[in-house]
Structure 1
Amino acid sequence: MRSGYIDALIYVLLSSVAFVFLNNLIADVNPLIALLVMSSVALMVFNLLSFKRIKLTYTVCWQHKSIYIWMSIGLALDWVCMVYASYVADPFIAMSALFISLAIIGFIRLNFIQKSRKRLISLMLLIVSLILLELFYVVPVGHSTSLGILLGVLAGGAFYLYILNSAKLASLGNLNSLQVLATRFWFLWCIALVMVPKLHLWANMLTHLGALILISFASLIVPIYFNQRAIQKLGAELTSVFIGLVPPVTFVCYVIYSHEFHWLNGMVCLIITVALLLPTICKSRTS
């Protein structure tokens, strides 16, 4: 159990630090170049790890083409929106808007299945948190809170689309997590390859290649490994509590990096953290 907590903590810290570092990196390099290199590294690593079953993996994707396509579209939109949300606003807004919208979609879906007053309260608290983020959160001059929230919300919806279809694909094709990970980045890679500015592409890539490879492992590869280990040791419910800590830890990392703290931002961060963690904590206590 103790090692499971360590795994979950590593996931939270790596995800938060990596996203703040990525935000700093894309200030110097086009976000599409970052996405191209990161998706290339992820494809290479996960396909190598799934090499023995790679033919079976892609056969399943071909047999369930529509599910695979929707899964890939969801993942691609999620990452494109998240990177640009951080670029136009800041990492905390991107993470918070994604997790809030993801939770809202989940609660709405669950409430259709079974009505619950607690879920409705949680849903309202999450919506209020999103409004507070728009009204009171302070971003640097030249950045846009509204656009960052919009992109973060779109990322949350896209990530939910990915979750639904990746679960279907894994179930129908009897695929393990590594096999799903090996296939999910192709659409993102294609979008980045087509849209990336071609002028001085190789020079820009080589200049930042070391940092991009590092951030690929820190944001796309290693956190997924530790998250999966935490789920196996702690269970999905307890692990989801730790996942809710990603936005506040991202906020702390960003404050440390930028040396800027606004008390209103801190209050908004606290309210969002409560909104994200409360539903899962209440559920775990009643179960």
Structure 2
Amino acid sequence: MTNNIITLNNGVELPAIGLGVFQTPPDVTTTAVEEALRTGYRHIDTAAAYMNEREVGEGIRLSGVPREEIFIETKLWISDYGYEAALHGFEKSAKKLGVEQIDLLLLHQPLTTRFDLTLDAYRALEKLLADGKVRAIGVSNFMPEYLERLLAETSVVPAVNQIELHPYYQQKEVQSLHAQHGILTQAWSPIGGITSYGGAEKSAFEDPTLLEIGREHGKSAAQVMLRWHLQQGRSAIPKSTRAERIAENFDVFDFELTNGQLAAIDALDTGVRGGPDPDSITLETFGMPIPEA
């Protein structure tokens, strides 16, 4: 019933639940990472654009947990797309993290207006994989059109596509494409945190269906959502800086949802995206220099 380890399409093992540090200020990132590793997490997800890779690395070192026991995942930003730029982007991230090898390196977004740069960046990831500098490579926020283009024009099938996925936005077409190609679906905002931002009409944390299922198991709505991801074979990246929430989000390996409960959660899909449309991410609107290490 644990569902804690997922084997990627190249044989590398990934702990299914990882701590996310998106929008986590650098001054609290180190403490959050330390706390997560103390709690039992062995997977940390960050990104060059989060501007906290250095603090993630510091938290890992201060935790006392051996490096080889921790799965480190990070992402290259669009400003570092292109072949040589992506190779240098890896070096910047590795130095900030304080590691020689990164476990999983993703392209953070498809740069749809300059997909040639996206393809060149992915080819750089393929080179890093071949050279043993990363153990697995993948993408993030790639919708079917661009994922299919990537598959057609590169050699290595991505191990992971990290996308917005929670009960209110399930991206079933993308998940189906992943299944066809052996790509792991990894959920950002897996417990619908994005549904509670900016005056949203309803929050997944207050959903009656999720709360009722939680009552039946003695669990919170957040824990129910994470269990739903695990039982359907996904990886999930919940984020928190609060010790009690970090622990709660990891306490999801001791219960099992019924088929009826899984179906009830599946039925909550609204088809409404909470985050930005990937097509809106351009160098003009979101390009920013990623500092040197």
Give the TM-score, by structure 2 length: 0.27
- The structure in which a higher percent of residues are strand is 2
Relative contact order: is structure 1 or structure 2 higher (C-alpha 8 Å, sep ≥ 6)?
Answer: 1
Give the TM-score, by structure 1 length: 0.28
- The structure in which a higher percent of residues are helix is 1
